[in-house]
Chains A and B, each alone.
Chain A
Amino acid sequence: MAEHKIKPSIPRNSLIWLLIAQVLVILPLLWHVPLWIIGLWLVCAAWRIQVFRMRMQFPKAIVKVAMMVSAAFAVYLSRGSLVGLDAGVALLLTAFVLKLVELRSKRDALVLIYLGFFTVVTSYLFDDSILAAGYSLLSVTALLAALVGLQQTVLTGRPGKTVTQAAAILLQAIPVALLLFLFFPRLDPLWVLPAPKDKGVTGISDHMSPGDIAELSQSSELVFRASFTGEIPTQNQLYWRALTLPYFDGRTWHMQNMTSDLLAPEWQAQGDMLEYSVIMQPSSRTWLYSLAVSQTEQKDIRLMNDFRLQHNTPIHRTYLYQARAWPEALAEPKLSPEKYRFYLQLPHKVNPQARAWAQQLRQSYPDDESLVRAVLRTFNQGEYFYTLKPPRLGKHSVDEFLFATQTGFCEHYSSSMTFVLRAAGIPARVVTGYQGGEVNRAENYVQVRQYDAHSWVEYWRLGFGWHRVDPTFQVAPERIEQGLQEALRGESLNTGLLSPLSYRHINWINQLRISWDTLNYTWQKNVLGYQAERQKNWLKGLLGEISWQRIGVGLVITIALLFALISLWLFKPWQTRLSETQRLLKQFERLLAKRQYKREPAEGLRAFQARIQADLSPPQRMALDAFVHSYEQNEYANVPVPAVQLKQQLQTLRHSLAGR
């Protein structure tokens, strides 16, 4: 008899899925947690399996406490803290692993499964790519299978069947989940939580020394993608501004925080307007990438005094923002005396040659604009070279570059030009960011990678405001027009053997790469980027007016309707639900109907039997009588007859009829 008393112990089926789910859940987090957790998992899993095979005991309380304490200590040693997201996740994971050895009752298993779901959620904080999302569905299915297995009787445990059931429920849940995802209001963060620690996040930093940007261009990591409502501007228009670096210490340009930074800058929109949106990868920085001069309506972004866009918190997740830019805007036509002086700042006693050259230029060109042109002309016509691997520079870096080595990357050019302009009495600053990007025609967006990092110069004239000049363009125009790949044809970019970027010249690989990139873009834009702002826009487009009350009511009604649909499909009320005996009666009628004995709709079973009996042979009559008798006993006399018996009697009848 397939029955047993409920024991709180865990069915084997559930245990199997629990172990599988644990591996699946832990795997993607391994890059972010100390590696000894693998060892801990192996020990705990082996222990638990031995307990299941009755070869070992559960650990005693004292052992458990010791394990907990030493695990926490190990986390502290390898993470340097017990607070913060990284340490938190490491702790969560050790708890998730250690729980395994005290997995006795169904309740323990339940705790483990719920911890598993939570761990999957935390893994999204580290990686929210389309692959990670797809993978996590496997973990969730395995966890659900463990949950289903927990409810099964021990005897039905077949792991394959359990996971099918779990997957079926998961699939059926998708429509409602989708509705909730679209319509559930995205709230502002309720409190600030520790952010993931940045592991080797490369990118523009708040200072720039010679060689910094050249180093950045070794990376093919994605920085952001930008799409435009209209045509994508030409490459030489795409100067993605990140930061301005106004302060020079003789070698390095620094960002400097000033109180005036927070004041909205003075500017006037003029010329054409560009509308664009950017989806950026996590940078752990507050600055965003924009075309000057940009404006946005997002309330967590502000336009800083140096015309950069800044988010009010560091960007730790894929972030989407929309902006409008006026490339020909008049930017800060008037400069306060104090800022005027600030943008002329230079360290003393460095680069005497450059200073002298600046004085010389000033004397020849009293007009600022012609002086700037003269500097650019020098770069253009002099023996200057553009290279990723410039020679090292000493103390007077600008002098050495301008008059001795004459080879450098963009930062050398922008840095020395800013120096010369300042020395000549023209307010100027270095701007860093990205230039250009790869255009994806299918989805009409520009993709900017780390190797598109660039720096250029802005100088100021009274009444005309800030004006952008790019000395690199004078040396290597193809860098600006076609991108770095073309500019450095001689020097190979170190994209790596495995990177598809290394195989751009092979057409189908390139196509595949671009399609994959398009998919990622769509994912980031429509799924990851679906936050408050986008949701509002989308709902406005769909419903016109946004009223959360009405959306709430509508959501509940729609979900109820969906449930009605799903339950129709689950219960199939159009199928008549016969009991086993009634089903056998139907078979009985069909069997006799084949022999031309059709039971009339209102004909009682007895009457039917009496009607056809005369035609039958004695054994047939007996078999018929046995079935009818059992059926009546069962249905009307309340003497339950096992269905097996009825089935057998039907079988006998069938045989006897066939034997005629």
Chain B
Amino acid sequence: MSAWRHWLAAWWSRRLPAQTRVKLGQKHIFIVPTMAGYAFAAALLLMLMVAINYQNSLAYALTFLLASVGLLSILHTWRNLAGLQLIGLPAEACFVGENARFPIRLQATRRTYQAIGLGWLRQKMLVTDVAKHSEQQVELSLAVKRRGKHSAERIRVETRFPLGIWVAWSQVDLAQSVLVYPKPIEAPLELAGVAAGEDAVEGLATAGRGVDDYQGLEAWQQGDSLRRVNWKAWSKGQGLWIKQFAELKGAQTQLNFSALGGDVEYRLSVLCAQVLKLTQQETPFSLQLLEQTIGPGTGAAHQAECLTALALFAGAEHG
């Protein structure tokens, strides 16, 4: 079974290799009858029986008309997928236990695409329309249970429009991936092995962004506290600027993986919670992961760097 799955996956990636943008075309789209389609055929057969047995020309005519409609809807269903462009957008990082959300942009051509279903294999589908000359963004979510970098599965895109008796479908790999941070676990600060004080003293550090001493303005970044925005400048239409302060604390907060107890994942989780907490408090800190040291620093970029390191931490076995 699993060998078969592998073979199938390999076949798919040979046929439709991972690409950020896919314009559905002949080589992508498959079309097969649905259950409703088989039922439709059975109903037509019954109608043909009536036509034959009663030698009724109109019954023949209607049977043939509907048969022709059924055949024709192959073209219509196929057309309702052909030319549609799927673009995989970068997914935002998330934490273990959350749903990773993969944004996908659907771009129509000069045709309107109706009732396009998108979803992971064997799961419920999102259905959306894409009006002509426009685009539509949808998000597929996937529950993630492990930290690290995860590639998204192949996405099934299908449509049964207009009659529901055929389904045109494809499986595309939009080369999307998501970074999953460890699940944050709150633990008391003392137990968390924050090595503050003696061995972390590095003199008066003014490198990191702090809260104490006003240093100047810096462009606002996502994640920066709104409390420090220079609203005066913003109201004058000069954009969002952050007031910069230098931290004048003598001691630096350091988060150290080795100083913690418990298994690796637990330790990473605790560190994760601390990173989030310290960033929110705007306390500069550094992160020590075995040989790797990040910081000291504070702010969104620093937080992202720390969390990424936690997510991708591989020295687990030796820690």
Chain A interface category by residue count: 35 or more
Question: Chain A at the B interface: mostly helix, strand, loop or mixed?
Answer: helix
Is A124 within 8 A of B105, CB to CB? no
Interface residues of B in 65-110 (CB under 8 A from A): 65-69, 71-73, 75-76, 79, 82-83, 85, 87, 89, 105, 107-110
B54 at the interface (CB under 8 A from A): yes
* Chain B residues within 8 Å of A578, by CB: 109
Is A124 within 8 A of B109, CB to CB? no
Interface residues of A in 270-312 (CB under 8 A from B): none
Is A150 within 8 A of B164, CB to CB? yes
Is B128 within 8 A of A173, CB to CB? no
A638 at the interface (CB under 8 A from B): yes
* Chain A residues within 8 Å of B133, by CB: 580, 583
B40 at the interface (CB under 8 A from A): yes
Partner of A570, one of B63, B76, B89: B76
B52 at the interface (CB under 8 A from A): yes
A114 at the interface (CB under 8 A from B): yes
Partner of B63, one of A6, A121, A128, A567: A121
B185 at the interface (CB under 8 A from A): no
Shortest Cβ distance from B143 into chain A, in angstroms?
16
B196 at the interface (CB under 8 A from A): no
The docked-state distance in angstroms from the alpha carbon of A260 to that of B23 is 79
B59 at the interface (CB under 8 A from A): yes
Name the CB-closest residue of B to A187.
Answer: B52
Partner of B66, one of A117, A189, A567: A117
Is B128 within 8 A of A176, CB to CB? no
Partner of A643, one of B57, B129, B135, B138: B135
The docked-state distance in angstroms from the alpha carbon of A125 to that of B59 is 8
Contact with B along A184-198 (1 / 0, CB 8 A): 101111111100000
Interface residues of A in 131-154 (CB under 8 A from B): 132-133, 136, 140, 144, 147-148, 150-153
**Stretch with Cβ within 8 A of A (4 or more), from B43-51, B148-156, B274-282:** B43-51
Name the CB-closest residue of A to B161.
Answer: A151
Is B110 within 8 A of A144, CB to CB? no
The docked-state distance in angstroms from the alpha carbon of A279 to that of B43 is 31
* Chain B residues within 8 Å of A531, by CB: 55, 57
Shortest Cβ distance from A41 into chain B, in angstroms?
22
Is A125 within 8 A of B71, CB to CB? no
Is A117 within 8 A of B136, CB to CB? no
The docked-state distance in angstroms from the alpha carbon of A528 to that of B128 is 45
* Chain B residues within 8 Å of A128, by CB: 56-58
**Contact A124-B58, Cβ < 8 Å, known A6-B117, A153-B129, A165-B162:** yes
* Chain A residues within 8 Å of B50, by CB: 118, 121-122, 125, 193
* Chain B residues within 8 Å of A184, by CB: 60, 64
A522 at the interface (CB under 8 A from B): no
Partner of B162, one of A148, A177, A189: A148
A61 at the interface (CB under 8 A from B): no
Is B137 within 8 A of A580, CB to CB? no
The docked-state distance in angstroms from the alpha carbon of A189 to that of B138 is 55
Shortest Cβ distance from B106 into chain A, in angstroms?
10
Name the CB-closest residue of B to A195.
Answer: B54
The docked-state distance in angstroms from the alpha carbon of A120 to that of B56 is 12
B200 at the interface (CB under 8 A from A): no
B163 at the interface (CB under 8 A from A): yes
Is B59 within 8 A of A317, CB to CB? no
B292 at the interface (CB under 8 A from A): no
* Chain A residues within 8 Å of B127, by CB: 3-6, 153
**Contact A640-B105, Cβ < 8 Å, known A118-B46, A571-B82:** yes
* Chain B residues within 8 Å of A364, by CB: none
Is B58 within 8 A of A114, CB to CB? no
Is A176 within 8 A of B71, CB to CB? yes
Is A177 within 8 A of B65, CB to CB? yes
Is B43 within 8 A of A528, CB to CB? no
The docked-state distance in angstroms from the alpha carbon of A186 to that of B52 is 7
Shortest Cβ distance from B41 into chain A, in angstroms?
11
B126 at the interface (CB under 8 A from A): yes
Is B129 within 8 A of A117, CB to CB? no
Name the CB-closest residue of B to A185.
Answer: B52
B142 at the interface (CB under 8 A from A): no
* Chain B residues within 8 Å of A530, by CB: 57
The docked-state distance in angstroms from the alpha carbon of A559 to that of B83 is 25
Is B72 within 8 A of A169, CB to CB? yes
A172 at the interface (CB under 8 A from B): yes
Interface residues of A in 296-334 (CB under 8 A from B): 316-317
Shortest Cβ distance from B5 into chain A, in angstroms?
26
Residue from B23, B36, B53, B61 with most neighbouring chain A CB atoms (10 Å): B61
Interface residues of A in 340-360 (CB under 8 A from B): none
B62 at the interface (CB under 8 A from A): yes
The docked-state distance in angstroms from the alpha carbon of A125 to that of B55 is 10
The docked-state distance in angstroms from the alpha carbon of A505 to that of B69 is 47
Interface residues of A in 179-212 (CB under 8 A from B): 180-181, 184, 186-193
Is A176 within 8 A of B59, CB to CB? no
B21 at the interface (CB under 8 A from A): yes
B125 at the interface (CB under 8 A from A): yes
Name the CB-closest residue of A to B43.
Answer: A114
* Chain B residues within 8 Å of A110, by CB: 36, 39, 164
Contact with B along A556-592 (1 / 0, CB 8 A): 0001000100110011000101111001000000000
The docked-state distance in angstroms from the alpha carbon of A5 to that of B115 is 11
* Chain B residues within 8 Å of A177, by CB: 61, 64-65, 67-68
**Contact A173-B53, Cβ < 8 Å, known A2-B128, A4-B127, A577-B109:** no
* Chain B residues within 8 Å of A117, by CB: 43, 47, 62, 66
Name the CB-closest residue of B to A155.
Answer: B129
* Chain B residues within 8 Å of A2, by CB: 128-129, 136
The docked-state distance in angstroms from the alpha carbon of A526 to that of B79 is 36
B134 at the interface (CB under 8 A from A): yes
The docked-state distance in angstroms from the alpha carbon of A184 to that of B51 is 12
The docked-state distance in angstroms from the alpha carbon of A391 to that of B36 is 67
Is B72 within 8 A of A317, CB to CB? no
Partner of B114, one of A122, A156, A166, A642: A156
Is B129 within 8 A of A121, CB to CB? no
A593 at the interface (CB under 8 A from B): no
Is B65 within 8 A of A6, CB to CB? no
Shortest Cβ distance from A269 into chain B, in angstroms?
31
* Chain B residues within 8 Å of A114, by CB: 39-40, 43
B288 at the interface (CB under 8 A from A): no
The docked-state distance in angstroms from the alpha carbon of A581 to that of B241 is 33
The docked-state distance in angstroms from the alpha carbon of A528 to that of B137 is 54
* Chain B residues within 8 Å of A1, by CB: 128, 136-138
A602 at the interface (CB under 8 A from B): no
**Contact A527-B57, Cβ < 8 Å, known A4-B127, A643-B134:** yes
The docked-state distance in angstroms from the alpha carbon of A156 to that of B47 is 32
**Contact A186-B109, Cβ < 8 Å, known A150-B164, A571-B82, A580-B133:** no
Is A151 within 8 A of B160, CB to CB? yes
A170 at the interface (CB under 8 A from B): yes
Is B65 within 8 A of A136, CB to CB? no
Shortest Cβ distance from B316 into chain A, in angstroms?
33
A614 at the interface (CB under 8 A from B): no
* Chain A residues within 8 Å of B66, by CB: 117, 140, 173
20 other A-B residue contacts (CB within 8 Å) besides A4-B127, A579-B23: A1-B136, A5-B127, A117-B47, A124-B56, A169-B76, A170-B65, A174-B68, A184-B64, A189-B53, A190-B52, A193-B54, A317-B54, A527-B57, A527-B58, A530-B57, A559-B71, A566-B75, A570-B75, A570-B79, A577-B110
What 8 pairs between A and B have smallest CB-CB spacing? A173-B68, A180-B64, A176-B68, A124-B58, A177-B65, A177-B68, A3-B128, A173-B69
Q: List 8 A-B contacts (CB under 8 A).
A: A6-B117, A117-B47, A118-B47, A128-B58, A152-B161, A180-B64, A189-B52, A577-B83
